[in-house]
Copies of this chain bind each other. A is one copy, B any other.
Amino acid sequence: MPNTFGHLFSITTWGESHGGGVGVVVDGCPPRIPLTEADVQADLDRRRPGQSKIVTPRKESDTCQILSGTFGGQTLGTPISIWVRNEDQRAEAYKEMETLYRPSHADYTYQAKYGIRNWQGGGRASARETIGRVAGGAVAQQIFKTFLPKLEIIAFVSEVYDLVAQVPLEKISYAEVEANIVRWPDSADAERVIALIEKVRSQGDSVGGVVTCIVRNAPVGLGEPVFDKLEADLAKAMLSLPATKGFEIGSGFAGTRLKGSEHNDAFVQEGNRVRTLTNRSGGVQGGISNGEDIVFRVGFKPTATIAQAQQTVSVTGEAAELRARGRHDACVLPRAVPMVEAMTRLVLVDHWMRQRAVGGLEK
């Protein structure tokens, strides 16, 4: 099922950017987890357009409705259907897309794969699809609040174009990240990033960057050691997000420039816990979490939609020039942060339930 993610805790997303809305069915959620629309809305608000001056000014409140699966503020153990109506639809703004393929978008590949596409606003390839993921991640978060209250999942923008955040990982805090509109880990330093994004937008251009995610206090033992390694499922989760081009965990590509004697994480005993002195493994060894912080990075390309003229072809094969109208993000990174968090939650909750099924979390 191409629109489903997860084995035991799964989400199935649906919807196009123009049409009846977008939504998600969350299946496999344990019963008696506190869940209200407000829990979901809080995360959707971090993802939605118009939340700050550096993101797209599309006016979508992205108000969610829970249509099933809860009763008296608690989950029933039955599927949770969450729906967000589409509001600010301006199909006419996309009229050109009916006949032209936007460079580095999915217009052409959808047409080639399906022989049909909803060209209004990107259709299914629109980033609106991620609403369902963020909503599903919010449900997962409620499970963690109940069962793993110390678990912390913090994503943040660590690079925008050539700007690199300088905060050490152990200093990263959710509050600080959320304290500025870039979701930069150091609010005092965020202004230069904002200035860059605004400058790029004024040029009709766009920039990409890197989101880093850190998971603290994950249980030891999550991850299946062969195909469903924790880092493999995280990699898939991240590369399934729009505009992502790369994933690395722990030492990542930089680790390929170290020797084994420099790279290995020595073990030490700390009370009744086995710890590592360094964390080049990124919290995962042999596909299984080892209790250290899980740390990974996700590369996002610059937004494909730009206001500058671009060379393309029409659906009938004629050369054409395209200049995007519509309202777009000059940099998707700030809005990508809750998406990365949501996908991380989904991966972790699924593995946590898989581990529960084999009794691996019992003491």
Quick one: which of A1-55 are within 8 Å of B by CB?
A: 1-5, 8, 10, 12-16, 19-23, 25, 27-28, 30-32
Residues of B within 8 A of A173 (CB): none
CB closest chain-B residue, reference A71? B118
Which of A248, A251, A253 has the most chain B CB within a 10 Å cutoff?
A253
Interface residues on A, range: 35 or more
**CB of A357 within 8 A of chain B?**
yes
- A357 and B362 CA atoms in complex are apart in Å by 12
CB closest chain-B residue, reference A224? B2
Quick one: which of A236-264 are within 8 Å of B by CB?
A: 236-240, 242, 244-253, 255-264
A76-84, A148-156, A177-185, A187-195: which lies at the B interface? A76-84
- The quantity of this chain's copies bound in the complex is 4
- A54 and B94 CA atoms in complex are apart in Å by 52
Is there an interface contact between B69 and A269, defined as CB atoms closer than 8 Å? no
**CB of A175 within 8 A of chain B?**
no
* Interface pairs A-B: 10 shortest CB-CB: A106-B286, A20-B67, A246-B248, A2-B224, A206-B260, A236-B236, A109-B288, A357-B357, A113-B221, A14-B79
Is there an interface contact between A20 and B66, defined as CB atoms closer than 8 Å? yes
- A99 and B232 CA atoms in complex are apart in Å by 29
Quick one: which of A202-226 are within 8 Å of B by CB?
A: 204-210, 220-221, 223-226
Quick one: which of A304-356 are within 8 Å of B by CB?
A: 304-306, 308, 310-313, 317-319, 353-356
Is there an interface contact between B249 and A227, defined as CB atoms closer than 8 Å? no
**CB of A137 within 8 A of chain B?**
no
Residues of B within 8 A of A76 (CB): 16, 114, 116-118, 123-124
Which of B159, B303, B313 contacts A274, CB < 8 Å?
A: B313
